[in-house]
Amino acid sequence: MSAKSKSINLTEGDITHQLMLFVWPIMLANIFQQVYNLTNSMIVGNYINTNALSAVSSTQSITLIANFFFYGVSTASGILVSNYYGAGEKGKVRMVIQTSLIVSFLLGVSFTAAGEIFTPWMMNLSNVNEVIYREAEIYLRVFMLGYLPLFIYNVIFFIMRSLGDSKHPLYYLMTSCVINIILGVIFVRVLHMGVSGPALATVISQLIVDVLAVRALQRIDPDLRFDLKRLEIDAETVRRLAELGIPAAVQNMLISLSNLVVQAYVNLFPVAAIAGIGVANKVSTWVQIPMQSISTIGTNFVGQNLGAKKYTRVKNGIKLCNRIATVITIICASFVFVFAERFIALFDTNPDVVRYGAAMTRFTVFSYVPLTWSHIYNGCCRGAGNVKIPMIIAVLCQCVAKYFFVTIGLRISFDIHIIYLSSALAFSLAGIVASLYFHLSPWTKKRQLR
């Protein structure tokens, strides 16, 4: 297979065909990413006990802080690559790739060090129950050792997709997922390592994928090859990565911090509620797969076509992305709503865990429909270089509004339903505001996104 045949040029051909050709590997990759994320909870819930599942669930908001930051910076790398690649400036593409790899290495090491130092503070902030505190700390400390490989493969995956290669990220996520499951079961069932087993399995599987992903990145296009021993860092590229990546990273981190605050309230409820809500959050993320996948396509599609100055194609692509994502999300939400108890029971058959989890799932799942609009419109704005407004919208809706709703609501009535409703409110509000901005803003009109 030639190097060029490994990528898809999103600036040419029938839009529907190109999007469908590009979307299925991303969709499957996100499915495996969710399986990957669910694996640790399923292993500890089925092979250890409910306390272990609660320990893992109670750390979810903490681990997502770094994950969301990495996602934001990786998005910036993808935006720059898609813009330059669409404009045919391969020299700049190569420089972005090299600079991004160096930045991801430095930030990955920094986050691991900071995470290990501030683990007690973050756990106290989230009110981790003393019954599960020790197991939660062990899991968290081992898991954070994997921040470096996690950041590197996030950056590489975004770069590869921006170059039109959505298949290799899928293959490597599948590989990583299988390795993670096998090692996780061995570490828990055979070696009796407790909660540290699945966390260590995750670190090892990510390291293996890093090696494979770097090799594949070198083979996409001969003009983009670089020497790993002589990587260069460009100050202007760092500035552009910061300009595009910091707002998205800050947005994601603030959302994660707000979730951490909400988790602190959740941790005041019984252990079964902690486990059930944690599992519900994981199950509901399956409904996010269409919006995440198509949002990724939208960002890359807009970036490449704006670089190629194909504005009509940009508008048509955005409309199509939004329609497809909305329809698929409605179908997925309906399916999860109907079979909520069965999904929760995959993690823990404890009746109380299932009851709390199913209730949380049903209260939240249909709010992913408006959240889809937020993902698509904000993703397309980022592809056009606007990262600040999407950040403001997300922070106000998913952080500020959610925080005040939970804080005030629980003071009025300490009822678990306040927790359930907080996510539904935040997601719905984010979708509505993002839609209004996209359709009414002079900026989107000026940039010819609509």
Return mean pLDDT, the chain: 83
Q: Residue 84 in contact with residue 307, Cβ under 8 Å?
A: yes
In contact, 433 and 396? CB cutoff 8 Å: yes
**51-83: pLDDT as tens digits:** 887 777 777 777 777 777 787 778 888 888 887
The pLDDT tens digits for 388-399 are 888 888 888 888
Burial class from Cβ neighbours inside 10 Å (0-12, 13-18, 19+) for residue 408 reads: exposed
pLDDT digits (tens, 9 = 90+) for 175-209: 888 888 888 889 988 888 888 888 888 889 888 88
Burial class (CB in 10 A: 0-12, 13-18, 19+), 83: buried
Per-residue pLDDT for 260 more than 80? no
Percent of the chain with pLDDT over 70: 97
Question: For the whole model, what pTM was predicted?
Answer: 0.68
Contact 169, 194 (CB under 8 A): no
CB 212 within 8 A of CB 172: yes
At 428, the pLDDT band (50, 70, 90 cuts) reads very high
Tell me the C-alpha distance between 69 and 344, whole Å: 28
- CA separation for the pair 388, 383 (Å, rounded): 12
326-363 tens-digit pLDDT: 998 999 899 999 999 998 888 778 899 899 999 999 99
| pLDDT for res 7 | 54
Structural contact between residues 422 and 410, judged by C-beta atoms closer than 8 angstroms: no
Picking from 209, 94, 232, the residue whose alpha carbon sits closest to that of residue 157 is 209
Mean predicted confidence (pLDDT) in 154-164: 83
2-41 pLDDT, tens per residue? 334 455 567 777 888 777 777 777 777 777 777 766 777 7
Q: Are 318 and 373 in contact (CB under 8 A)?
A: no
Which pLDDT does position 8 carry in this prediction?
58
DSSP string, 96-128: HHHHHHHHHHHHHHHHHHHHHHHHHHHHHHTT-
Name the residue among 289, 419, 411, 413 with its Cα closest to residue 356: 419
Q: Domain range for residue 91? A: 4-446
* Long-range contacts of residues 84-91, Cβ cutoff 8 Å, at least 24 apart: 84/307, 85/162, 85/163, 85/164, 85/304, 85/307, 86/10, 86/11, 86/303, 86/304, 86/305, 86/306, 86/307, 86/308, 87/307, 87/308, 90/221, 90/223, 90/224
Contact 433, 416 (CB under 8 A): no
Number of structural domains, the chain? 1
Residue 233 has pLDDT above 70, yes or no: yes
Q: How far is Cα 125 from Cα 97, in angstroms, rounded to an integer?
A: 37
